[in-house]
Amino acid sequence: MSEARGIAVLGICGSLRKGSYNMAALRTAIELKPPTMTIQIADISQFPLYNEDVRAQGFPPPVEIFRQQIKAADALLFACPEYNYSMSGVLKNAIDWASRPPDQPFAGKPAAIMGAGAGMAGTARAQSDLRRSFVFLDINPVNKPEVLIGQAQTKFDANGRLMDEAARGFIRDMLVALERWTRQVGRKN
């Protein structure tokens, strides 16, 4: 049996805040990833608000870069904050831009979701809404384990390091599941 090829994952954070717990969770994922996985973080901070008139003139350069990153990735990892019981406008805007024709790049991609929020439920409602979008986008999500980091303000230190061992374990397990799912769904051997 040949040695398994590595899995290239694109991390997408739905928060632009400098001290974002969700970006800190993505950095934790990079720290805890399996040895055969790489994680690159996309920059969605320069996207204009979605406007079909603008898209008709061509994709703005930051959006085109993002679309190419999605195409090149074997799998996606979403860090999904919760704003007003749903996913952030920043994340929805990035998805809306990237999903436009031609060649919608999300189709068939394996993906995992995690999220950190101040409330007790972490980002459960936002993740649910993101999963609904996955249906239309034809994304193949890992279902378990779920990574819902509730009361995030008590779980990260002042430097953004995730201190909660249970949450770190869930992230580690989710990444192992994402790697396995990517090999199964993406037939990447």
Domain boundaries defined on the chain: 7-185
- What is the C-alpha to C-alpha distance for residues 105 and 81, in angstroms, rounded to an integer? 23
pLDDT (0 to 100) of residue 3: 46
Q: Tell me how many degrees the CA angle 14-55-106 measures, rounded to the nearest 5.
A: 50
pTM flag (> 0.75): yes
CATH number belonging to domain 7-185: 3.40.50.360
pLDDT tens for residues 137-169?
A: 999 999 999 999 999 999 999 999 999 999 999
Amino acid at 179: E
**Other CB atoms within 10 A of residue 146 CB:** 16
Q: In the predicted model, what is the mean pLDDT of residues 3-27?
A: 93
State mean pLDDT over 47-72: 97
**Calpha distance 182→98 (Å, rounded):** 21
Beta bridge pairs of residue 82: 87
Phi, psi of 111 (to 5 degrees): -150, 160
